[in-house]
Homo-oligomer: A and B are copies of this chain.
Amino acid sequence: MAQEKVVRFGILGCAAIATKLARAIGMTPNSSHYYTEGLSVYAVASRSVDKANAFASANNLPPEVKTYGNYEQLLDDPFVDAVYIPLPTWLHLEWALKAAHKKKHILLEKPPALCVEDLDTIIEACNNNGVQFMDGTMWIHHPRTPKMKAFLQNPDLFGDLRFVHCTFTLALSGKFFEEDIRVKPDLDGLGALGDVGWYCIRAILWANDYEMPQSVIAHPGPVLNEGGVITSCGATLSWQDGRVATFHCSFHSCLTMDLSVHGSKGILNLHDFAMPYEESSASFFSSTNNKLWEMNTVWGPRPSEHRVTAEFPQETFMVQEFVRLVKGIQDSGGKPDSQWPSISRKTQIVLNAVKTSIQEGLISVTL
């Protein structure tokens, strides 16, 4: 059997989420252990080599894994094919550009950039250097997602899309609000909007087949910290034909990940859209042709559960998709895929429109 070319990953920064990705890479098919066919965690870089070593050890990476005390060294390693960048958002532009120039394919944590212009610069650099760009939105790659899409695309069961509502909220502690980079204006100025609102906006665009809304307006009552970072907000998106979507994201509320999609004939809903309650399977709920029964005193049907089994955690499916695209370029000299960068870009445009609306006093932003 011919030895398949390995996609060698470098992890740029040892954020908590990197642990998840290191595990995901190890669990990806053709990678039952590190350094087999398919792909591997090849190198890890942190701001000190001790940190990188500690990460490798804590994540049971094999001793062969290269550890670097700065990001430049990892990018200079010619054996690194692709990088996963979980750095704070404000560092994305610098390190994504450097990685692209070193011909590394880029899996970039979300939100990919602080503004659309920065993201465009990153995507352009990836295209110019023939490397793949993808953002780190995991749930979109879960096998549940196409199953839900099939329901939304069924004209008999769902009908025409009318309304989407989505929330992603987290209850964070006092310590978080003092220390975390996600609430520091000079580090990650998008706050809750970038950290969790990103997922809501993506879900709304996904339900709308990535058709961009005509306008975006933030809801009254956004919460901003002293540095002006958004810690809670919401918005309404609207389309010319009457479709409407709302979302709410917050660092001050009990953890929720709700998604409801209303059609003329059917309804889809789930409470764990961005991260399934468990790894081995995930459910969504739907009902069709709901009606009042018997003198309008009762109604139905109740939502029915659709369970989708999953061989791997969702981040593994994401890595799999990324590797598929990278291999398309490596093995057959193809161009970078443009679908995922385009979806990232649309999400970023809406996200920054919400931010603009908040900054400008809740104005309506036309896209």
Where the two chains meet, the residues of A that have a C-beta atom closer than 8 Å to any C-beta of B are 16-17, 19-20, 23, 159, 162-163, 165, 167, 169, 171, 215, 217, 219-221, 223, 232, 234, 236, 238-239, 242-244, 246, 248, 250, 252-256, 258, 260, 262-267, 269, 271-272, 275-279, 287-292, 295-300, 302-303, 313, 315, 362, 364
Contact = CB atoms under 8 A, between A and B. Distances in A.
Contact of A221 (B238, B290, B296): B238
Given A238-B220, A242-B232, A279 B254 contact: no
Nearest to A289: B254
Nearest to A272: B299
A234 to B, nearest CB: 6
A297 B20 contact: yes
Contact of A162 (B242, B246, B253): B253
A227 to B, nearest CB: 17
B267 A262 contact: no
Given A219-B244, A271-B269, A296 B20 contact: yes
Contacts of A215: 220
A292 B278 CA distance: 11
Nearest to A255: B290
A299 B271 contact: no
A254 B277 contact: no
Nearest to A218: B236
Contact of A253 (B171, B263, B278): B263
Contacts of A292: 255, 275
Given A19-B295, A275-B299, A254 B246 contact: no
A243 B223 CA distance: 10
Contacts of A303: 271
Nearest to A302: B277
Contacts of A289: 254
Given A221-B236, A254-B265, 15 more contacts: A20-B297, A165-B246, A169-B262, A217-B220, A219-B238, A219-B244, A220-B236, A221-B243, A234-B244, A246-B246, A253-B267, A254-B266, A254-B290, A255-B292, A275-B299
Nearest to A254: B267
Contacts of A236: 219-221, 234, 236
Contacts of A252: 162, 242, 264
Contacts of A223: 242
